[in-house]
Structure 1
Amino acid sequence: MRYRSVFAWTLAAAAALAAAPPAAPAERANCPRLSGSWYGDNRAHLQQVIDDRGTCAGHPGSHPVAAFDWDNTVTKNDVTDATLAWALRHDKILRPATWKATSEWLTDAADTALTAACGTGVPMGAPLPTATDTRCTDEIFEIREHGKTMGGAPAFAGDWNHRRTVPQYAWVPQLFAGHTVAELTSYARRARAEVLAAPVGSTRTLGTHTVPAYVRYYDQQRELIRTLQRAGFDVYIVSAGSEPVTEVWSRGVGIDARHTIAIRSVLDRYGRITTRNQGCGDVPASRGEAIPYIDGKRCWINQEIYGVRGAAAWQRQDRGRRPALAAGDADTDVTFVGDATGAHLVLNRNKGELMCRAYDDADGRWLINPMFIEPLPRERELYPCSTSAYNEPDGGGGPVRRPDGSIVPDQKDTVF
């Protein structure tokens, strides 16, 4: 594994916490201080977690964990989509043997649509001319964005656990099959330079799709990560994007590759990306059955950070093997953000299950913040927490339940 386990640190921290007296007020005054503009009392609550859990609390052997989603949590806009958009505009997608081979859930309708749009004139393994062939670009991006063909047919079908994966997320790394990690990294770097230079709010046309042309690091999140690191926290990124792409971006907030967890492609013997992804827990390598998505993010955190193996990696761990702070913006983050023991930081993007948990605030530790750039307006009066906001494993919706089994009532959207 590329990541060292913090289980041993956690045991040492627990012993230190039991033996050491609380830090005196004078000592806490020297703790790293969080700056920046935050909604309401959020900065004070985050500072309290930093003061209570970090080394400045008088426990120098402790290494508490903080875990952040990436896209729209640390940055405004999606960096994997930005890289895919750049690749499509620069003919970097290689023609697969068959489109069906890219995903085990790709439908016949999607295979037919992609074959018709992208053609068969390019040899297998050669670049598709997506910079000029807007039909091909449109079909690929529509499937990625909406899980449908341009004609409206479902692009993915079959059985998968909807709390462990979503085929259109897993499909993006699969589209880069045949490239090396170094090549994909170089595309991500060039895309990063381009979108950071583009004005905030700008868009571009990709085929017939209008997509964001810019990405920005959130200054507040960059400062929070820096402050946590200065206070002795091990800060990790846990993303449902492509890992080489996310690694390029995470360096910009001082997080190295060892602390960046995302979709990990299986490489062939020549070091090229394949359509298979590494597995988690008791799920072996597959074509995307266990990516860092909803419960999958918990599994990857448990496995890669805390060294939990097998089926147990899907289960909530005891307090000593859970992040002190976790941050996210979407339903894909709800499980690991809910696992945090000190603070659950949520950026409001109107995502039902996550916002139901956040507004219910069952443990008094949920912090809701509007998006720092171009915040979204209120989408609805109430979230349907009592009926349909929960993402069921079969893809349906159900009531959101607290740990004791009680149903969360519908919640009013108030922070936006």
Structure 2
Amino acid sequence: MTPRSTARRLQAVGAAAAITAALVATAPAAQAARPGGHCVTPKLAAGWYGDNQARLQQLIDQYGRCAPYRASREKPVAVFDWDNTVVKNDVGDATMFWLLRGGKIRQPAAGDWATTSRFLTPAATAALADACGALARPGAPLPTGTPEGAGCADEINAVYGSAATRGGAAAFAGWDRRTTEPGYAWLPQLMQGWTAREVRGFAAAARAENLAAPVGATQQVGSAKVTGWVRYYDQQRDLVKSLQKAGFDVWISSASPQPVVEVWAEGVGIDAGHVIGIRNVTSRGGKFTPHLEGCGSVRDGADTMITYVDGKRCWINKEIFGVRGAAAEKVQPAARRQVFAAGDSDTDISFLRDATALRLVVNRNKNELMCRAYDNSDGKWIVNPMFIEPKKRKATPYPCATSGYVDHDGTPGPVRRGDTSVIPDQTDTVYAAS
């Protein structure tokens, strides 16, 4: 090639590069990312407590796609708990009640209730067998929605809802309080024999009923009156939508069953691929078994690491950030953590603490959560009353310095900051107006 032809070739390459750069620069995504482009930052709707709307808007302005000074163009991650954080009431409860009313819980294999949870006590398995054993053959649905099955429905509901039998005996024993909650885990375990598609159908039916019922409605399950309604929080729906428009990667992490949360999350525009719930191990035919998927160092079927407290951290690290093995149980470097998290309960503590920029707490008077939120040692916590039927002020201080923390074995103790100093008792300051 002659020097002149080489020069012409270099000129042509340069011109092509310039054209490509111009096309990229005028693409909508690029316009949104660069200063001065046609980028509109979403603005949150009103309805928040104090300066919370301003703090959340500041998060969107700083980390959203319009921010000109974000070092990385990777999407910032936001993670929400579900029950009583994005919706009022519990979609797991709503589904359990629907299953009992509809007779969709199966008699366990060989009639042995111990096969449904490794943490059930002998007293609980005996009570369940006495109440339910004669009603159906192993593997067949129990008629818990009929008068003859009311006692069985009552016993299942007592074990699930109060962790005790109707006779008052402890229903579960021996679990790690920082990685699982056997009552929460028992719901998907009782879905054994159904497929994920079938469970999504059950959840959709329960969703329709609970959204149609008036606020405050109850329903009959066995001989008991139980909660019969659920509502999406308008403010949280708007926040999710605004974060998505601003380019955030928005996820749900919930201790309700995976297919159940998938159905409900559609109502705020979050697809199934961005939901992390309790996940069953399935058989070759796709039917749920009574065993659960593991995370970190916990193998599938061990049933000891669900999306609960430290388990939520593990599952978020695994599913969102691709951390594998025992490392998923550990706090990750800031670059591999969510910038925002929202929750309402002590079950959300670990993934909330992992958020690097802002942590939203919906106040339901949960001890450890409110101790950390009110202490606000790093200035990244904000507290909001519940958006529907908010709680009144807690009459006594949160027992942060003595018993606000619950250890792995259930032992209570003081709530400590990251530097191990003890958080003093905290007064409730964000609550419903009288």
Q: Would you say 1:276 and 2:286 are equivalent positions?
A: no
Give distance in 2, aligned partners of 1:63 and 1:316: 20
Q: Distance in 2 between matches of 1:80 and 1:310?
A: 28
Q: Is the 8 A contact 1:90 1:130 kept in 2?
A: yes
Q: Which has the higher contact order (CA 8 A, sep 6+)?
A: 1
The 1:134/1:262 distance shift into structure 2, 3 A limit, reads same
What is residue 68 of structure 1 aligned with on the other side?
80
Which of 151, 162, 165 lines up with 2:167 in the alignment? Answer: 151
1:193 counterpart SS class: helix
Q: For residue 366 of structure 1, what is the aligned residue in structure 2?
A: 381
- The residue type paired with residue 55 of structure 1 is R
Contact 1:382 1:411 in 2 (8 A): yes
**Amino acid aligned to 1:46:** L
Does the 8 Å CA contact 2:135/2:143 hold for their aligned counterparts?
no
Q: CA deviation at 1:315?
A: 1.1
Q: Does 1:246 align with 2:255?
A: no
- Preserved CA contact (<8 Å) 1:55 1:62: no
Supply the AA of the counterpart residue of 2:262. E
1:202 deviation in Å? 1.3
Among 315, 333, 339, the alignment partner of 2:330 is 315
Give the equivalent residue in structure 2 for 1:99: 113
* 8 Å Cα contact 1:103/1:287 also seen in 2: no
Aligned partner of 1:127 in structure 2 is 141
Go from structure 1 to structure 2 and tell me whether the alpha carbon gap of 1:28 and 1:57 turns closer, same or farther (over 3 Å shift): farther
Residue 379 of structure 1 deviates from its aligned partner by 3.2
Q: 1:121 to 1:143 in 2, by over 3 A?
A: closer
C-alpha displacement at 1:205, in angstroms? 2.8
Query: In the aligned structure 1, how far is the partner of 2:361 from the partner of 2:333?
Result: 22
The Cα RMSD (Å) is 1.5
Alignment match, 1:410: 425
CA contact (8 A) 1:240 1:263 kept: yes
Q: Is the 8 A contact 1:67 1:327 kept in 2?
A: yes
Match of 2:50 in 1: 40
SS in structure 2 at match of 1:326? strand
Letter aligned with residue 81 of structure 2: D
The structure 2 residue matched to 1:80, chosen from 60, 68, 92, is 92
Q: Which runs of 5+ in 1 are unaligned?
A: 1-21
Q: Distance in 2 between matches of 1:42 and 1:56?
A: 21
After superposing the two structures, state which structure 1 stretch, 201-210 or 136-145, moved more: 201-210
Are the equivalent residues in 1 in contact too, given 2:43–2:57 (CA < 8 A)?
yes
Rounded Cα–Cα distance in structure 1 between residues aligned with 2:225 and 2:327: 43
Q: Post-superposition shift, 1:123? A: 1.1
- The aligned amino acid for 2:404 is A
Give the partner amino acid of 2:344. Answer: D
What amino acid maps onto 2:257 in structure 1? S
In the TM superposition, residue 54 of structure 1 has moved relative to its aligned partner by 1.2
Cα contact 1:389–1:399 (8 A) shared by 2: yes
Residue of structure 1 equivalent to 2:184 = 169
Name the SS for the 1:172 alignment partner.
helix
Amino acid at match of 1:114: L
Return the index of the structure with the highest Cα Rg. Answer: 2
Percent identity over the alignment?
Answer: 56
Query: In the alignment, does 2:227 pair up with 1:216?
Result: no
2:66 counterpart SS class: helix
| AA in 2 matched with 1:39 | Y
Question: Given that residues 306 and 312 in structure 2 are in contact (C-alpha distance below 8 angstroms), is that contact kept between their aligned partners in structure 1?
Answer: yes
Distance (whole Å) between structure 1 residues aligned to residue 34 and residue 44 of structure 2: 18
Deviation per CA, 1:42-73, whole angstroms, max 9, x where unpaired? 00000101111111102482300000000000
Take 1:161 and 1:286, find their aligned partners in 2: how far apart are those partners? 16
Q: CA deviation at 1:311?
A: 1.4
Structure 2 stretches lacking a partner, 5+ long = 1-32
Q: How far apart, in 1, do the equivalents of 2:226 and 2:360 lie?
A: 27
Deviation at residue 287 of structure 1 after TM alignment: 4.5
The corresponding residue for 2:13 is none
Deviation at 1:189, TM superposition (A): 0.4
CA distance in 1, matches of 2:218, 2:102: 17
CA distance in 2, matches of 1:415, 1:399: 22
- TM-score w.r.t. the length of structure 2 is 0.88
| CA distances 1:347-402 after superposition (whole Å, capped 9, x unpaired) | 00010000000000011111100000011122332000011111201111111100
TM-score for the superposition, normalised by structure 1: 0.92
State the alpha-carbon separation in 1 of the partners of residues 369 and 37 from structure 2: 36
Q: How far, CA to CA, are the matches of 2:326 and 2:401 in structure 1?
A: 30
**Cα 1:338/1:209, change in 2 over 3 Å:** farther
